[in-house]
């Protein structure tokens, strides 16, 4: 018996030793470590040195052959506070007891299955707008643009059902003939309109081919963003690798080409003809990524043509324009369309610089080449404004810094000097400043200080500092996002400032979609081709909303265009992925006002069930036109009838947003503005909504009644919103808050803007 006990004890002892040996010498793995930055001791000058010290405290004796620096893979300062490192299981466990440690996760391989904007919008195949609408099945999306490249894989019709009978289109116009063989169950129509263009520019007639084929690329990109089929293996030279698909990937596409020449020029007559044809053909949604500035509604081709589309129940998504952050720079401010601003996503294109001491820093990069710089000397050259001095270090990686944040001139100088590569330190990193052909990275000032300190430490020793560069890294989860991008045009609308525009923001920056393979995506002396291209602009955000509209139309075929627009607006997001108000890049990253953001950033899944909608009928729009002091002739140009009832003119359209203008002047004079709105219950039959108001400094906002009780679905209830306050002296000042109706399930939010315009209404 004693002998058996001894054997058991010996076996237990050996097992314990084996477990210890296995644990100690187990193969190391990569981990991503989240750290609490507020716990960093003041003795450390930067995050990397703190992480280095933390890791050195937990490194086991068996792993001392590798220094803590060599274990660190990346130091993260933007997407998160922390680092990634290669650790043994024992080191990993020990690290969990370190001060400032929050959590860690294994560096698992990822399966990329999208070019990201659908996922960024929360769309997924298991719940929400995609399965509810069957990916927009049988909804017809018309695209007014530069045409289409029908052979693109994004127009394949694998698995699609027969074309719905509501489609009345006939022609598929390619290559001087009605070549229907290039259309299919996905691409069900393709027509071109150039008569107006050729009449106006007859000298260009020999350069224009009568075809819907896209020789610009813009139309192929926008149409596949809205409703392109799923395509695996899409990328932009290694960036944005994954599966490309449109927002409504099972919707049908009908293309109407009316933009011609290298610049995609169009004339009003062709635009009106294209929209007219689209209505006849039976489209459900129109995506129009073009417009004109400073044009009255009755002279605006898109406004005129889309009024008819609205009457027929067609939802129209239009781009806000790319005129930047100036007040009142927006076009397509038409009250009966959706006007879409452009925002960023949480996906960024990165490159790395790895210093000779093992520190690896990441920054923005769009370099598409296969070049990789390994262990080259790295030097700091200040503003990099002296080309002759730069030529002396052409075999080096050159680091530049300019407090003005101007990178373009620096890149030009480095390219002329033929240096190995460039690292640009910027207080406002912007990927648009970079050159796709020159190996370069933009890093922020925190990482810039790390690089400069490293170079300085070697310079003081009269020895060479070295670094390596690598590219084509796609990063997800960037914070803060989304943001309204700087190019996106701002309200109020020139043509109708009394309706708050833009309506909503959608992804518009660095959007990957299909591209004609014979049109260069880049042209720097050498032409570069690819089947997909990455573009930025409100032209890219517009088709995102068109795709969302197709999903909503698929679920709610009886909803009006105004109801679908309202559903998107009142359920949109006003907070970014850090749970802070969405920022405006064009306004020094301050909180975005509704004149930049609209009601918020589109959220397709929440828009499925908005609870309440602000619906608008044709007569409501006529009442607005009458109140704009248009003549009957002006109104007829829009409504197409001379019999317009102007007995009840009103600037107060039943819109899911509010804007009031106050003359800048004597601050002792009080002002009062009252709005009347009617909401329709599209949620549960019986529900009670309570109002809450985000205060606006200097103004008192009240709503009567502040409680809405619905006893059945589709019932309508009206309320009044009153704004009272003193005048202000500052022109172009924008103050805003929100009116929110809440029941047990729904949050129905509308922006409220008070502004002092520097123009005559």
Indicate which residue of 495, 539, 560, 572 is catalytic. 539
Closest CA to 146 of 193, 207, 198: 193
Closest CA to 492 of 672, 288, 332: 332
- Residue 402 among the catalytic residues: no
Full DSSP string of 67-93: -HHHHEEEEESSS-SEEEEEE-HHHHH
Instruction: Give the CA dihedral 316, 317, 318, 320, nearest 10 degrees.
Output: 140
- Residue 133 among the catalytic residues: no
- Bridge partner list, 379: 398
Nearest-angstrom CA–CA distance, 232 and 241: 9
Nearest-angstrom CA–CA distance, 305 and 332: 12
User: Taken in order 459, 460, 464, 466, is the CA torsion positive or negative?
Assistant: negative
Nearest-angstrom CA–CA distance, 702 and 715: 23
SS (HEC) of 284-328: CEEEECCCCCCCCHHHCHHHHHHHHHHHCCCEEEEECCCCCCCCC
Show Cβ contacts of residue 601 under 8 Å, excluding neighbours closer than 6 positions: 343, 482, 504, 505, 506, 572, 573, 574, 582
Nearest-angstrom CA–CA distance, 413 and 419: 9
- Helix then strand count (H, E) for the chain reads 19, 38
What are the Cα distances from residue 509, in Å, to 314, 627, 746? 27, 38, 30
Q: Count Cβ atoms within 10 A of the Cβ of residue 3 and give its class: 0-12 exposed, 13-18 middle, 19 or more buried.
A: exposed
Indicate which residue of 52, 116, 117, 145 is catalytic. 145
Q: Count Cβ atoms within 10 A of the Cβ of residue 636 and give its class: 0-12 exposed, 13-18 middle, 19 or more buried.
A: middle
- In degrees and rounded to multiples of 5, residue 659 shows phi and psi of -145, 135
What are the Cα distances from residue 460, in Å, to 274, 392, 399, 454? 69, 20, 17, 10
For 298, how many CA atoms within 13 A lie in the half-sphere containing its CB?
16
Closest CA to 54 of 107, 108, 104: 104
Nearest-angstrom CA–CA distance, 623 and 234: 49
Q: Which residues of 611-622 are buried (b: 16+ CB within 10 A; e: fewer)?
A: bbbbbbeeebbb
Indicate which residue of 52, 218, 331, 601 is catalytic. 218
- Residue 331 among the catalytic residues: no
Q: What is the DSSP letter of 181?
A: G
Q: What is the DSSP letter of 559?
A: -
Q: Count Cβ atoms within 10 A of the Cβ of residue 715 and give its class: 0-12 exposed, 13-18 middle, 19 or more buried.
A: middle
Full DSSP string of 346-396: SEEEEEEEEETTS-EEEEE----S---EEEEEEEE-TT---HHHHHTTTTS
Nearest-angstrom CA–CA distance, 748 and 291: 30
Q: Count Cβ atoms within 10 A of the Cβ of residue 124 and give its class: 0-12 exposed, 13-18 middle, 19 or more buried.
A: middle
Q: Known catalytic residues?
A: 145, 218, 539
């Amino acid at each position: 018996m004693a002998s058996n006990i001894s054997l058991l004890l010996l076996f237990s002892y050996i097992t314990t030793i084996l477990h210890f040996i296995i644990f100690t010498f187990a193969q190391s793995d990569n981990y991503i470590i989240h750290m609490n930055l507020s716990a960093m001791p003041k003795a450390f000058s930067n995050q990397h040195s703190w992480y280095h010290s933390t890791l050195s405290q937990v490194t086991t004796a068996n792993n001392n052959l590798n220094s803590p620096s060599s274990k660190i893979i990346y130091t993260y300062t933007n997407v998160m506070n922390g680092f990634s490192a290669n650790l043994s299981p024992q080191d990993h466990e020990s690290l969990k007891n370190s001060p400032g440690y929050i959590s860690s996760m294994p560096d698992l391989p990822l399966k990329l299955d999208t070019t990201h904007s659908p996922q960024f919008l929360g769309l997924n195949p298991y719940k929400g707008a995609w399965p509810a609408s069957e990916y927009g099945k049988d909804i017809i999306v018309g695209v007014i643009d530069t045409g289409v490249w029908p052979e693109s894989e994004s127009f394949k019709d694998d698995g699609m059902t027969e074309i719905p009978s509501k489609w009345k289109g006939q022609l598929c116009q390619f290559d001087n003939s009605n070549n229907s063989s290039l259309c299919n169950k996905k691409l069900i129509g393709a027509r071109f309109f150039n008569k107006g263009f050729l009449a106006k520019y007859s000298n260009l007639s020999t350069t224009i081919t009568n075809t819907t084929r896209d020789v610009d690329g813009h139309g192929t990109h926008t149409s596949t963003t809205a409703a392109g089929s799923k395509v695996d293996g899409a990328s932009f030279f290694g960036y944005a690798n994954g599966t490309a698909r449109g927002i409504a990937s099972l919707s049908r596409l009908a293309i109407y080409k009316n933009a011609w020449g290298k610049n995609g020029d169009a004339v009003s007559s062709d635009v009106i003809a294209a929209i007219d044809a689209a209505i006849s053909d039976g489209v459900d949604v129109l995506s129009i990524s073009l417009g004109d500035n400073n044009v009255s509604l009755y002279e605006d081709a898109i406004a005129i043509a889309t009024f008819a589309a609205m009457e027929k129940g067609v939802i129209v998504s239009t781009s806000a324009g790319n005129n930047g952050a100036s007040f009142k720079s927006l076009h397509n401010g038409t009250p009966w369309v959706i006007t879409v601003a452009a925002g960023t996503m949480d996906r960024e294109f990165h490159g790395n610089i790895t210093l000779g001491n093992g520190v690896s820093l990441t920054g923005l990069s769009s370099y598409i080449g296969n070049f990789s710089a390994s262990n080259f000397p790295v030097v700091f050259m200040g503003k990099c404004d002296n080309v002759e001095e730069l030529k002396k270090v052409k075999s080096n990686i050159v680091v530049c810094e300019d407090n003005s944040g101007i990178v373009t001139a620096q890149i030009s100088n480095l390219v002329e000097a033929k240096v190995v590569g460039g690292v640009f330190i910027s207080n406002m990193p912007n990927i648009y400043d970079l050159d796709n052909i020159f190996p370069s990275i933009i890093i922020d000032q925190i990482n810039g200080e790390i690089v400069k300190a490293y170079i300085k430490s070697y310079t003081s020793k009269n020895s060479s500092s070295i670094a390596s560069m690598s590219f084509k890294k796609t990063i997800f989860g960037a914070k803060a996002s989304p943001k309204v991008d700087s190019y996106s045009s701002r309200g109020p609308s020139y043509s109708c400032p009394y309706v708050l525009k833009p309506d909503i923001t959608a992804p518009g920056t660095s959007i990957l979609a299909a591209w004609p393979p014979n049109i260069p995506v880049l042209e720097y002396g050498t032409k570069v081709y690819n089947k997909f291209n990455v573009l930025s602009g409100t032209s890219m955000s517009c088709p995102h909303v068109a795709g969302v509209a197709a999903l909503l139309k698929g679920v709610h075929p009886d909803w009006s265009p105004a109801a679908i627009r309202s559903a998107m607006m009142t359920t949109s997001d006003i907070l970014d992925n850090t749970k802070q108000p969405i920022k405006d890049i064009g306004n020094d990253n301050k909180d975005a006002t509704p004149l930049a953001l609209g009601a918020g950033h589109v959220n397709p899944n929440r828009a499925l069930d908005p609870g309440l909608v602000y619906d608008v009928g044709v007569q409501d729009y006529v009442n607005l036109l009458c109140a704009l002091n248009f003549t009957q002739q002006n109104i007829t140009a829009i409504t197409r009838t001379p019999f317009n009832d102007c007995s009840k003119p009103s600037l107060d359209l039943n819109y899911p947003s509010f804007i009031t203008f106050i003359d800048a002047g004597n601050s002792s004079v009080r002002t009062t503005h009252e709005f009347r709105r009617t909401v329709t219950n599209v949620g549960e039959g019986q529900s009670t909504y309570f109002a809450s108001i985000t205060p606006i400094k200097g103004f008192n906002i009240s709503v009567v009644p502040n409680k809405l009780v619905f006893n059945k679905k589709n019932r309508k209830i009206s309320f009044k919103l009153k704004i009272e306050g003193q005048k202000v002296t500052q022109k172009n000042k924008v103050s805003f808050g929100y009116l929110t109706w809440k029941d047990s399930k729904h949050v129905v939010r509308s922006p409220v803007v008070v502004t002092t315009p520097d123009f005559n209404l």
